[in-house]
Structure formats: structure tokens, C-alpha cells
Copies of this chain bind each other. A is one copy, B any other.
Amino acid sequence: MHFASDNSGPVHPEVLAVLAEANEGYQMAYGADTLMDEVRDRIRDIFEAPEAAVYLVATGTAANALALATLSQPWETIFCAPMAHIQEDECNAPEFYSGAKLTLVPGGDKMAPEALRQAIENEETRGVHGPQRGPVSITQVTERGSVYSLQELRALCAVAKEFDLPVHLDGARFTNALVALNCSPAEMTWKAGVDVVSFGGTKNGLMGVEAVILFDAQKALEFELRRKRGAHLFSKHRYLSAQMAAYLRDDLWLRSARQANDNCARLADGLRAAGASFAHEPQANMIFANLPRKQHRRLHDAGVAYHLWGSNLEGSDEDELLTCRLVCDWSIKPEEIDRFLALL
């Protein structure tokens, strides 16, 4: 029973199958492979964006850092939530690639439009002395498992546009959000005002592929050069393409995300029934549940893997509520969830 991370699960077998299929003969290196043509076309189709520039990289941090570097200047500041992945989990990669700094918009895991406006207004009040206003980066699904509604996304983008700032969407769990919102990719991105999206695949069943989609292709060459300079251009690129091709064929991306979200809902329902409360309402494939220490102990002893969040098992108060993070991916079996719930 493994709920530690959607980075820990296996690759979907359909992905392995396309990798094997792609392993025939010779292919042009560095992104000139024929599978990349399929991927590009498919993503443009899916996003209703026939002019979009589409690139593949192997890590989410690379997708974010390269996207933000392309959208910003080294004397700017990037607006994001205090618990954004780019702030907390990328070891200065966005700053390394962009030269820009990050301004944390006060609030919880979601940015609120008014807080964003305030944060933007607070910058560029001192001429060249302070950093200049740069892109807004929104994490969808947030790091706490929340999903921005379309209305919320539109409102954030509208604030950015008031100040002529570009918007980046960190979609490491893009499809989990999409499935939760039951909307179209276009609605969740450019129709809402997003300029560039990190369209994640790794957490949703791929080995390691994320697409970066620039709806305005004007900076496409800049992105390509930044990717190469960052050492993120793959020579045997066809194996990135193959993963993404498999992902988009037969709706694997949607099926996997639905499965993950369904697993998560089943788990949340069971937790709720067992009396657990939630630090954040589960909306996609992540749960932050509060459970008494004794239950954590029981789960831990039974070999269930997950992270305690800001606390640990040590401590004598058996009834103290400790928050844990439980993440579901496509591969979890309903029986495992039932076994987990039985342990409660």
C-alpha cells in the first residue's frame, strides 16, 4: 500500500508498449523524430491551439524553469503561492534559469486574485531599485491537492493581464485537475488567459516526460535554445515522444487521471467515514488527512507508505491529530484502498 507519491508508481503498460514499438530502426535525433510530429499535432488538437509551440522535457522542474525563463527577464520577479513547487521544491532552478526572483503572494495554497493584485501593485513602486513585475505562475492542481475552478483561473489571469504580465500554469497534475473540473484543456489554459503551460505526464503514468506548450509561438526558438543550453534536449528524443504519444493515444492521460482521482475519492470517503478530517478538501488525487497518532502508528506498522506533513510519529499523545499526505496514482488497486481503510 503505497500512497507516498505519484512519483513512486509504475509506468503504464501502454507506455512501455509504445516505447518498444518506437524502438525500431533509425530516427532523427534531437526532436526531429516522426513521433514528435504526432505528439505536436495531437497536443495542438487537444488544446485547440493549431499555432502552439510544443516541446518535451524529462522533468517537471525543467518544464517550469524553462517556461518561466522564457517568459521573464532577469530583473523581474515571478508571482506565485508560498507553497508553489517552484518556490519550495526546485532548489533555486527557476531562479537559476530565469535570473528572476520569486514574490510569494500571501495566502494559502491557492492564490486569491485580490492578494495577487496587491502583490503586483507592491512591486515596481521604486523605479529601477526593486525588481520589475514578471510572470504569474499558477499551480494546478495545487501542492495541497486543491483545484482552481475555471472562474478562479480566469480571475487570476485577468489580474495578470491588467498589468500586462504573462501567465504560466504549472500543470504537473494537469490532467487530474482537468478531470476534476470536467472541462476542456483549452478552457483550463489559453481560454482562461494562460500563456504557457507545463503539461505534466510523469506523475500520471509516464517515465519522465512533460510537455511545455507556448500558445504564442513567438518565443519558440528562444525556448529551444534555452532547452539546449540547459542540457535538456534529448539526443534519442524519440523515447520522450513515444511516451507522450502513448499518453495521448486512446485517452490514456484521461483514463489514468480519472483512475487516480477515483482512487483518491474512494480513499477520502473511507477516511471521512472513519472520522478523519481534512486539512484541505480533496479535489484531485491528493489527500491531507488528520488522524490520531495511534492510527498512524497502526498504518505505519502495517507497512503503509505515506508522508506525515510537518510532524512525526514520535510523541506520547496517542490521540494527537497528525496530518498526513496520501497521494493516489492510476496504478492503485481498489483492494489496496480497502485494505488501507480496514486498518483504520
Contact = CB atoms under 8 A, between A and B. Distances in A.
Interface of A: 2, 4-5, 7-11, 13, 16, 19-20, 23-30, 57-62, 65-66, 73-75, 77, 88-93, 95-97, 99-102, 104, 126-132, 202-203, 207-208, 222, 224-236, 239, 305
Contacts of A90: 129, 228-229, 231
Contacts of A236: 7, 11, 202, 207-208
Contact of A128 (B104, B129, B233): B233
Nearest to A4: B26
Given A95-B95, A99-B95, A231 B229 contact: no
B230 A231 contact: yes
Contacts of A89: 126, 129-130
B102 A208 contact: no
Contact of A65 (B5, B25, B74, B231): B231
B130 A232 contact: no
A305 B74 contact: no
A121 to B, nearest CB: 11
B101 A75 contact: no
Tallying the copies of this chain within the complex gives: 4
A92 B65 contact: no
A11 B242 CA distance: 13
B29 A10 contact: no
Given A92-B101, A207-B239, A234-B208, A8 B20 contact: no
B62 A91 contact: no
Contacts of A29: 5, 7-8
Which 10 residue pairs are nearest across A and B when measured between Cβ atoms?
A7-B235, A62-B231, A2-B26, A61-B231, A7-B29, A75-B225, A91-B228, A128-B228, A89-B129, A8-B26
